[in-house]
Structure 1
Amino acid sequence: MRALIADDEPLMRAQLKDALGRVWPSLEIAAEAASGTQALARFEEALPDVAFLDIRMPGPGGIEVAAALHGRCHVVFVTAYDQFAIQAFERNAVDYLLKPVGFERLEVTRRRLEALAMPRRDEALLRLAAELAGMAPKRETLRWLQASVGTSLRMIAVDEVLSIEADDKYTVVQSSQGEALLRMPLRQLAEQLDPGQFWQIHRSTLVRVGAIDRVDKARDGRLFVVLKDGRRLEVSRSYAHRFRKM
């Protein structure tokens, strides 16, 4: 399993990381965050299985962060305050730990999380079997992207996206709001988008089908997608079959 630790106090993050390393050596600490906003961004980058969240942080607090994640991972609250326990469990928290967290108490949390992970692995095998049998249920796809514009985090509806392109360390999202950056590989993002709504036209480019104005064919046979914002993107030979009726 992979974990995110979010706490605005570096010492608290370090202590929890060390304690988890002793109690649960196989757990990978995939990301750390010092604020609620940073926690949401780091989550999209790392896609952890569990998030250890402080209750009070700059920006959105742990309760708000858990609400934004909306069941996309298990949540454990780690806090110095005991009065938020009811709100925490209303957010389907796996556990509620009070600082400082002891090894024995953390061991209980580990067992709870590992027990929850078993059904998830079984479900994954069932989904794979269903796909092989051609009976896979429709998977959930992203409806919003959390992308960076300067120092701000912007929520972009996928219906507003025009194109998505890989660019060195970032993935560039072009939308009706302008350009924004995601720290997520294009391939990983493509797996979370509706394949009927987003088409790959190049190994580094996705376009939203509804954003296509037309497709031009050059004299040499090359194809170019012209988007509604006027940009012209070349279609590589590997993906030209999408437009083979031309």
Structure 2
Amino acid sequence: MKYSALALSVLLVCSAPALADIEQPVELVNTSEQSSQFLKQQVRSSNSVGRAIRTVLARYPENTKELVKIALDTYPDKYRQIVSAAVSSQPAYVDDIIELAIERNVASATELVTLAINAEPSYAEYATEAACKFSPEQFNEIVKTAVLMEPDSADQIAKTLAKRYPNKTLEVLVTTIQEVPLVGKYVVDALLALFPIDSSESESMIIISVEQLAQHPEALERLVELAEQRGIEQEQISASAIRGGLTVAQAKVYVDKYYIE
């Protein structure tokens, strides 16, 4: 594996003492083994892989992907420091960072998305989308991990995933509201906005959500109101609420409030 001279040269800034000692131009190396040794020297100077990565990427963000690649190849056991430092320094590159870590199989996708969200919570939806893209076989587990990590962003996470994977919208909905039911109504509203009011997807989403959120009065009331507005038959809503654990009498209270004979 070969790396550009520019990417290797920026590693010199990892350590102020090391930089101060350089009086003559340094002959750059570009083989994988030499690059690894060079990086080890710089990390020793700064006493931390994470600190070295953070310093370098702050100065040379355009080399983020290549530098993270070198770091993961050289220090695979330090992936937690590398991923956390890289995401916190350059969150716009979260897609590349997660892809590189998954390609090298340093950790599960769920652990990587956890590291990324901890490092930069405001990029939770993008970290989740990247993890799902590069580890589709762990899709549901990634979604569960992400919404539990950052429940305040659950609606945006669900909406981003539904846009990218429209055939998984109901799967995303159910997984999300099962894990964080208290924000279920916001997730439903976010996903409903993606579909026409009179679409079959919209109807299915409301009916399924009634079952999943039957034990959460505030969310259920909002769903029954939406169901009535969108012309869904009250018998379907009642049946869904009962499947969700309500008695016939309890379901009737919600339905009667919005469905007027």
What is the TM-score of this pair, normalised by structure 2? Answer: 0.28
Larger radius of gyration: 2
What is the TM-score of this pair, normalised by structure 1? Answer: 0.29
Could you say which structure has the higher strand fraction?
1
Could you say which structure has the higher helix fraction?
2
